[in-house]
Chains A and B, each alone.
Chain A
Amino acid sequence: MTIVWVMAAVLLTAAAVITMFRLLAGPSTLDRLVALDTLVAVTMCAIGTWAAFSLDTTATYGLTALALISFVGSVSVARFRVPDSDRSRSTRRLR
């Protein structure tokens, strides 16, 4: 059973490290927002895996808090951020 937890930890760590590349390099704010959302979801996966591994339910409250706070954060960034290029001022699409 230990090999399963080790494999899950390796996979999740790789996922977090890969996602951080997009978080740092993303060309627009929305890309960073998407990457941050993915990172939070990976963190929630890791907390769930930790709770399943250790049979310790202390962190499950943090799971629920993370789910709600990441939602509020993503929606408020999408609502209140400053658009990052002049192109975005045109409200209608031109082809």
Chain B
Amino acid sequence: MSALDIFTAVLVLCGSTLALTAAIGVVRFPDTLARMHAATKPQVLGLLLVLAGAAIRLRGNVDVGMVILTGLFTVITAPVVGNRVGQLAYREQNIRDDLLTKDEMHEFAEKRESGGNGQN
């Protein structure tokens, strides 16, 4: 059991714990925006940690490239899904207004209505 194995074990355990944290967040959080937050950020970090552990353990193999590619795809696609789901949840009012500390989309809509004068 070398130092790299211990490092792999730490990475995989941290990733699994983050996945469990994200699952608890998805179940416990009150509205869709907060659930989307739990499903994107800790989940992606946990997945990246697990994939890093797997890549370290599989070092020297040809297929490590697929693991790295998976991490790359996840990092690229997770913000897109989060953006779409967040915007839809906002538009359909699946959110609780009392939990929002700042609502920039509402301010933007108001500003465009009052100062737009039909330019847009």
Contact = CB atoms under 8 A, between A and B. Distances in A.
Q: Do A and B bind each other?
A: yes
Interface of A: 1, 4-5, 7-8, 11-12, 14-16, 18-19, 21-22, 28, 30-31, 33-35, 37-38, 41-42, 44-45, 48-49, 51-52, 55, 57, 60-61, 63-64, 67-68, 70-71, 74-75, 78-79, 83, 85, 87-88, 91-93, 95
Interface residues of B, number: 57
Contacts of A37: 39, 43, 81
A1 B27 contact: no
Q: Is the interface of B mostly helix, strand, loop or mixed?
A: helix
A20 B95 CA distance: 21
A17 B18 CA distance: 15
Interface of B: 1, 5, 8-9, 12-13, 15-17, 19-20, 22-24, 26-27, 32, 35-36, 38-39, 43-44, 46-47, 50-51, 53-54, 57-58, 61-64, 66-67, 69-70, 73-74, 77, 80-81, 84-85, 88-94, 97, 105-106, 109
